[in-house]
Chains A and B, each alone.
Chain A
Amino acid sequence: KAGVTQTPRYLIKTRGQQVTLSCSPISGHRSVSWYQQTPGQGLQFLFEYFSETQRNKGNFPGRFSGRQFSNSRSEMNVSTLELGDSALYLCASSLALRVNSPLHFGNGTRLTVT
């Protein structure tokens, strides 16, 4: 069974630009979550999606947005990039029917903002 797939693996952007990251969950997983990992702040929750609906949102500015498609694939978008947005962005999927099942993480997209 294929794992969680994130594309691209690496991105370099300039301040003020916008970026879109993509995530394909494990087949059959309908819940997708996004996390930001930085050396300073650690792992922080961004969003949770299920059935194309955002269920929860973390404490991030409105520049961070996301969506989920009918095939459970998800994208997140960051507009007006700032240097502090440089991070590893991790997508995770889980079996929604098993409410406490662990998250399965992808390999992440490493975003560098210059």
Chain B
Amino acid sequence: ELKVEQNPLFLSMQEGKNYTIYCNYSTTSDRLYWYRQDPGKSLESLFVLLSNGAVKQEGRLMASLDTKARLSTLHITAAVHDLSATYFCAVVQGPSGSARQLTFGSGTQLTVLP
């Protein structure tokens, strides 16, 4: 059974600082997604990572995937208040799994303090 673990679960950081959120998963997969959820809102797609070594960047966020280590990271550079949200990683099970059947991590609740 695929398990996805994120850490930390809660993260408070000062504006302007850098930090990394980690996403570990338990079985072979080469497809991983990052989503953002604002309080009371739905999930918004951030990144799609489809191969070992994939790196995607958008603004102050950068995501990477290491399929050998079964690890993805979401790096935040020079955090700003607008990045406060809950971030989820989600993994597709196996090479033939459906990308519509995702296993989500527990989420990392990020608060950026002034």
- Interface residue? A28 (CB, 8 A): no
Q: Is the CB of A33 within 8 A of B101?
A: yes
- Interface residue? A58 (CB, 8 A): yes
Total interface residues on B, CB under 8 Å, equals 22
Main secondary structure of the interface of A (DSSP, over half): strand
Taking CB atoms and an 8 Å cut-off, the chain A residues in 92-114 that contact chain B are 92, 94, 99-108
- Interface residue? B88 (CB, 8 A): yes
- Interface residue? B87 (CB, 8 A): no
Q: What is the interface residue range for chain A against chain B? A: 20 to 34
Asked if A45 meets B42 with Cβ closer than 8 Å, knowing A100-B50, A102-B33, the reply is no
Chain A residues with Cβ below 8 Å from B42 are 90, 105-108
Some 16 contacts from A to B, beta carbons below 8 A apart, are A42-B106, A43-B102, A43-B107, A48-B100, A48-B101, A55-B100, A56-B101, A58-B101, A90-B43, A99-B99, A100-B31, A100-B50, A101-B99, A102-B35, A102-B45, A102-B48
